[in-house]
Amino acid sequence: MKRISRREVLKTTSHFFVGAIAGAGLNSVLQGCADTSSDQSAIDDIMKKTEMADIKNIKLTVLYDNVLYKKEMATYWGFSCAVQGLDKNILFDTGMYENTLMSNMLKLGIDPSKIDELVISHDHPDHVGGAMMFLENSSDINVSLVKSFGSSFKKEVKERGLNLREIDQPCLITKNSFSTGEMKNFTKNEHALVIRTNKGSIIITGCAHPGVVEIVEQTKKITNEDVLLVMGGFHIMNDLGTKTKKIVHRLKDLGVNFIAPSHCTGGEAIEIFSKAYGPKFINSGVGRIITANDFI
């Protein structure tokens, strides 16, 4: 199988994977999301088929972030988080560079071959750039992304015989987790990963381009359950404080219990979240491992 060079991959920002792969299999199963005909039937399907995971088993490991938490980690602009302790292991986003991702995975004891599900939040290089490693080395991984994602990347996934899940409506990912469905934004459409737990939902965002408040609202529209944690990039890095304070207010109104902003949230906004949430602010960044002990 021909390997695509890094230079080729980074020729464009949204279409990384250029050129066909000689001899690649074409036996992928192209899935939409469930057999649903409307948002409401998609939501009903999720609530019928998902089960709450026990928070005691869940381990969230931030593998890639421009915000540094643990000093021996490699850091670069982007985001990636591993979710363990569910029925399947999930990798949410892959950061910009596979070498940085791989190095951090190794240091944090996450085995790439044990990842069952790859969920990419949106088609920006700092979230999908490291995905090549999984496409090249996995034979049975499921890849979930929004329907509007670049066609070159989707083609790569299919040509490698991997299972591609193109998401528009809310969609089941594993027995304990689901996608919010594709949420529209003029920068990039995006979806977020939601884990249902016995202590409330855990929501992981990539850049939250459609808005972190909107993502929480969408999650609650699906589950009508408490929100234990929102973590990831909130994309308010250029805000001088006014917008962030409104977001904090709305998230508290929505009952978001714990918060772990990083990546594109921005230093000033993170500071505002820290003050507003006090002991329920979780300091995050690359190398951070979040477990049940953080929710006491």
Binding site for Fe ion (CB under 5 A): 124, 126, 207, 264
Question: Which CB sits closer to Fe ion, 137 or 187?
Answer: 187
Q: How far is CA 76 from the centre of its chain?
A: 17
First to last CA, the chain: 49
Of the pair 54, 268, the CB lying nearest Fe ion is at 268
In the complex with Fe ion, which residue's Cβ is closer, 5 or 187? Answer: 187
The total of other beta-carbon atoms located within 10 Å of residue 144's CB is 26
| β-pair partners for 65 | 79
Q: Which is nearer to Fe ion, 172 or 230 (CB)?
A: 230
Burial of 237 (0-12, 13-18, 19+ CB in 10 A): middle
Cβ 93 to Fe ion shortest distance, Å: 8
Min CB(148)–Fe ion separation in Å: 13
Q: What are the residues whose beta carbons fall under 8 Å from the beta carbon of 296, sequence distance 6 or more?
A: none
Least Å from the CB of residue 51 to Fe ion = 31
Closest CA to 193 of 150, 130, 145: 145
Q: Shortest approach of Fe ion to residue 79 CB, angstroms?
A: 6
Name, in order, each residue with C-beta under 8 angstroms of 133's C-beta and a sequence gap of 6 or more. Answer: 94, 98, 101, 102, 112
How far is residue 182's CA from residue 206's CA, in Å, rounded to a whole number? 13
**Closer of 200 and 261 to Fe ion (Cβ):** 261
CA distance 83 to 92: 8
Least CB distance to Fe ion at residue 39 (A): 24
Q: How far is the CB of 96 from Fe ion (least distance, A)?
A: 9
Long-range contacts of 240-243 (CB under 8 A, 24+ apart): 240/268, 241/268, 241/269, 241/272
Q: Which is nearer to Fe ion, 154 or 235 (CB)?
A: 235
Structure tokens, 277: 């949430």
- Which residue's CB atom is positioned nearest to Fe ion? 207
In the complex, minimum distance from the CB of residue 266 to Fe ion, in angstroms, rounded to a whole number: 12
Nearer to Fe ion, 223 or 262 (CB): 262
